């Protein structure tokens, strides 16, 4: 279980924040009463979501990673990442920040075993990476996205190499590019061309994506990719160095990280099955529709289904509240925050939950090192989708926070810290103030763990010198939550404001005409990942348990 530290000084949590948290985490009887009345529940839902999003100024944001000032290009060119706060070159001036190795030690596991989340299963970080890798994408020369495979020390700010890592290939939409591809050219190659369906194959009686490699070879660059799939994505450096027997099992996927871990593969496979299932049902109802209309309608429907799961299962899992958010996209059309999506560098930082993956993974009745699940798709095809999701739902995730990153992922912590410096992020305290938390004045206001307090003091000397990402992760996880406070707030701000601004959810588009009668019913009937899994696995006579929640 995750330890608790009652000694944390809560004086800098902020009176309004404490009142808000207390009211939402107490009076369960009152919140249950509210949710029994649909109109009242939707009114409260709208108020709470607006309250979350309006914690910070709304889009458009005046700054991006293009420049330290606003220009027409920086306000319109979305090949650059947005940013909540302007670059702070003084805070990141060479020689003012501690050596990266000292900061990385803050994340290194200090016990022989993982610190486990009291709330979340392994399925939770699997879903988060799969979901977020579709829209949080950082350009790199290695073919990777968010987690650039570099040590972070080369490429001084201002050089062409460093400037490239300030750009993004994101479409800035929650569009399931993990399944459908980043570009329309990639999407065409993933489609079968018949009945609106995606290409697939059958393995052990179940449907999976097609294999990407026709002839995998031992030397990177010599592989032969299936002719009809070449160019769907550019394999990462790590993928290119996998042995031929691993490459032979890798699937065609929408993004370059689609095979990196087995949870990603399982979720992509699930969505492929649901897309093709929807195509079959829609074609039965509308036999006159062609391949293009069937494909586009099924894609619209699946994006909406996942959007609802994000709000009603994922966000409700994160929050420690008694009130459960409901999916109500047309309620926000006239809000100030209803603007064009633009992913920010801070949002990408918030989602680097390397420590949520435990060092050991329980699979097939034995514990295996987590790295063995990377690029190892036979773990899924040998077991089948239902058994895999049940297994992932029965094992606790790692606790999100410092001193809990397995050794094999510490290089990603180094990369993250270095990238924060390259992007010249403001300080942790600056972001607290921006998000309406009072600035901390002492290390014991961040965490009650005396050891972490001493280490932060030894690394930074003063709380105003703490960097954004280390500060985020050093905070204690809130009771009843899966996340530390500032992480949770930033996710609330960006997640709600970027889910609901999808063009599919506009009031004149979010209707049966867009999704078909079949698709519209599927959206209304699907609130959880478990429902999606149950209708896409072979019938076994028993219910499959799929959940982010332990216990």
pLDDT tens for each residue of 333-373: 999 999 999 999 999 999 999 999 998 999 999 999 999 99
Residues 6+ apart with CB under 8 A from 547: 121, 123, 393, 529, 530
Residue ranges for the chain with pLDDT beneath 50: 1-5, 141-157
> What pLDDT does 2 receive?
42
Q: Rounded to 10 degrees, what is the CA torsion of 33, 38, 42, 48?
A: 10
> What pLDDT does 267 receive?
98
> What pLDDT does 219 receive?
83
What does the alpha-carbon distance between residue 543 and residue 310 come to, in Å, rounded to a whole number?
Answer: 22
> What pLDDT does 161 receive?
59
Q: DSSP state, 251?
A: B
> What pLDDT does 140 receive?
53
Segments making up each domain of the chain, as ranges: 10-119+158-168+315-358+400-503
> What pLDDT does 539 receive?
84
Burial 349-382 (b: 16+ CB within 10 A, else e): bbbbbbbbbbbebebeeeeeebbebbbbbebbbe
Q: Is the dihedral of CA 83, 89, 94, 95 positive or negative?
A: negative
CA distance between the termini of the chain: 13
pTM of the model: 0.93
β-bridge mates for residue 201, sequence order: 208
Q: For domain 10-119+158-168+315-358+400-503, which architecture applies?
A: Orthogonal Bundle (1.10)
Total number of residues shown for the chain: 551
> What pLDDT does 162 receive?
64
């Amino acid at each position: 279980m995750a330890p608790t530290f009652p000694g944390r000084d809560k004086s800098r949590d902020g009176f309004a924040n404490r009142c808000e948290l207390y009211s939402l985490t107490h009076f369960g009887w009152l919140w249950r009463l509210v949710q029994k009345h649909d109109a009242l529940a939707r009114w409260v839902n709208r108020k709470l979501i607006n309250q979350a999003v309006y914690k910070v100024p709304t889009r458009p944001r005046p700054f991006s990673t293009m420049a330290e000032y606003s220009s027409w290009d920086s306000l319109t060119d979305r090949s650059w990442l947005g940013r909540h706060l302007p670059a702070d070159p003084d805070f990141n001036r060479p020689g003012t920040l501690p050596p990266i190795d000292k900061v990385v030690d803050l994340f290194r596991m200090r016990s022989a075993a993982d610190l486990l989340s009291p709330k979340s299963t392994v399925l939770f970080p699997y879903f988060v990476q799969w979901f977020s890798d579709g829209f949080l994408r950082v350009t790199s020369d290695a073919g990777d996205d968010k987690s650039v495979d570099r040590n972070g020390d080369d490429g001084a700010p201002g050089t062409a190499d460093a400037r490239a890592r300030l750009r993004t290939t994101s479409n800035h939409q929650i569009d399931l590019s993990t399944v459908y591809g980043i570009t329309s050219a990639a999407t065409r190659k993933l489609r079968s061309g018949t009945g609106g369906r995606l290409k697939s194959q059958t393995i052990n009686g179940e449907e999976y994506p097609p294999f990407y490699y026709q002839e995998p070879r031992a030397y990177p660059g010599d592989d032969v990719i299936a002719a009809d799939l070449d160019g769907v994505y550019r394999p990462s450096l790590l993928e290119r160095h996998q042995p031929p027997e691993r490459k032979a099992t890798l699937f065609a996927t929408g993004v370059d990280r689609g095979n990196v871990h087995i949870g990603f593969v399982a979720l992509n496979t699930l969505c492929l099955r649901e897309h093709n299932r929807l195509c079959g049902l829609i074609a039965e109802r509308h036999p006159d529709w062609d391949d293009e209309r069937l494909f586009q309608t099924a894609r619209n429907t699946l994006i909406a289904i996942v959007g609802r799961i994000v709000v009603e299962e994922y966000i409700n899992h994160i929050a420690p509240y008694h009130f459960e958010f409901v999916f109500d996209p047309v309620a926000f059309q006239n809000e100030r925050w209803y603007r064009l999506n633009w992913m920010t560098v801070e949002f990408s930082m918030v989602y680097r939950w390397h420590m949520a993956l435990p060092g050991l993974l329980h699979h097939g009745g034995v514990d295996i090192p987590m790295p063995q699940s990377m690029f190892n798709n036979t773990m899924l095809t040998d077991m089948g989708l239902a058994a895999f999701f049940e297994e992932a739902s029965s094992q606790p995730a790692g606790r999100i926070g410092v001193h809990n990153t397995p050794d094999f992922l510490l290089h990603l912590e180094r990369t993250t810290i270095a990238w924060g410096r390259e992007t010249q992020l403001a300080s942790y305290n600056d972001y607290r103030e921006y998000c309406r938390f009072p600035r901390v004045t002492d290390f014991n206001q961040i965490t009650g763990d005396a050891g972490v307090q001493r280490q932060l003091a030894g690394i930074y000397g003063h709380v105003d010198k703490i960097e954004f990402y280390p500060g985020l992760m050093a905070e204690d996880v809130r009771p009843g939550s899966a996340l530390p406070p500032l992480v949770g707030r930033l996710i609330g701000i960006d997640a709600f404001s970027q889910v609901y601004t999808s063009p599919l959810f506009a009031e004149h588009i979010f209707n049966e005409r867009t999704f078909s009668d079949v698709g519209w019913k599927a959206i209304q009937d699907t609130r959880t990942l478990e429902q999606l899994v149950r209708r896409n696995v072979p019938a076994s006579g028993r219910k499959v348990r799929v959940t982010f929640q332990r216990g």
